[in-house]
Amino acid sequence: VPVFLFVAAPYIRRYVAGGRCKSTARLEGKVVIITGANTGIGKETARDLARRGKVIIACRDTAKAEAAASEIRAETGNQEVIAKKLDLADTKSIREFAERFLAEEKELHILINNAGVMLCPYSKTADGFEMQLGVNHLGHFLLTFLLLERLKQCAPARIVNVSSLAHHGGRIRFHDLHGEKSYNRGLAYCHSKLANVLFTRELARRLQGKFQRQEGFTANALHPGSVYSDLVRHSFVMTWMWKIFSFFLKTPCEGAQTSIYCAVAEELESVTGQYFSDCQPAYVSPRGRDDETAKKLWSVSCELLGIQWD
C-alpha cells in the first residue's frame, strides 16, 4: 500500500487540484475589489489579479490586509495593490468603505465577494443578524448594492460571489432567519451559502435585459473546492480533520482558480447567473434554482438592510 500511494500521489494531487484558470487576460486600467483577501483563497486571488491590474483588498483586519498587500506588491511589482478597511459584520463599516471608495476611485470593473465566516458559535453582527448569514450574505448584498452604479458605469463588469458545495445542505428558513429559535453552526453555514447562490441568480435575472446583453455586465457564483485554510478555525474537529487529510485538500492557490476564472475568462464575457466549480459549470441544488425563494430572499434582505433595490 505505501508503494502504491507513493506512485499514485502525483495523480491524486493532480485530481485534488482540480481545474486551473488558463486565461492570460490583462486588466490594465481596470479596478478589482476582493473582500477578505488577507488570507486563504482571497489572498491568492489577489496575488494573481495583481499581475494583471489594480487590486483593492477589503478586510476587517487592516494590519493583516496591509501585510498581505505589501507582500503582493513586492512579489508582483504592482504598486496598485491597496488595503482598505471593511467589516462585513457592521453595515456602518460597509457604508463607510463604499463611500470612501466611490470618492477615491472613479472606476470599478470586478467585485469579488470572497470573505466569509464558517462554523462559528452563535453570535450576531453589529446590526443583530446571525453572524454567518450576516457576513456571508447580507454584508455582501449591501456592498454590491452600494457599488452597483459604479460597476454599471464601467461595464463590461463582473460580480463574482464565492459560495460553496455546502449550499446543497442549505435552506432559507424565513421563519427563523437569524437562528434565534434553533441554531446549528454547520447548517447555518449551508444556509448562508445557499443565500449566495440565490442572490447571484436573482441579481443576474434583474441585470438581464437591462445591462448584461449590451454591456457584458454579469454575476456568477462558484464553489472553490475543499481548501486547506483557516476558514474552519472555529471547529476543533474540522481543524484536526483538515490537518490529517490536508493531502486531499486544495491549496489556497488551487482553491482560488475558479474565482480567478470567473473574474477574467474571456469565454464568460456574456455568461451570467451561473454556478461554477473547477473552472466549469457545476450542478446547482433544486433549492438553489428556486426563483420564488430567490425573489423573497431579495425582498427580505432589502427590508433587513433598510434599502430599496428595484
> Which residue is catalytic, options 11, 15, 122, 189?
189
Tell me, yes or no, if the pTM score tops 0.95.
no
Instruction: Point out the least confidently predicted range of 106-110, 222-226, 303-307.
Output: 222-226
CATH 3.40.50.720 fits 26-304, yes or no: yes
* Burial of 185: CB neighbours in 10 Å, binned 0-12, 13-18, 19+: middle
pLDDT value of residue 12: 52
189 catalytically annotated: yes
pLDDT cut 90: percent of the chain above it: 81
Grid coordinates given for 273? 447567473
What kind and span of H or E run contains 148?
Answer: helix 140-153
| Mean of pLDDT over the chain | 90
5: confidence class by pLDDT, cuts 50, 70, 90:
very low
Residue 178 predicted with pLDDT over 90:
yes
Q: What is the pLDDT of residue 19?
A: 86
Task: Give the pLDDT band (50/70/90) at residue 225.
Answer: confident
Which H/E stretch holds residue 136?
none
- Please state the domain extents for the chain: 26-304
Nearest to 160 by CA among 75, 77, 79, 49: 49
pLDDT of residue 251: 87
85 pLDDT more than 70: yes
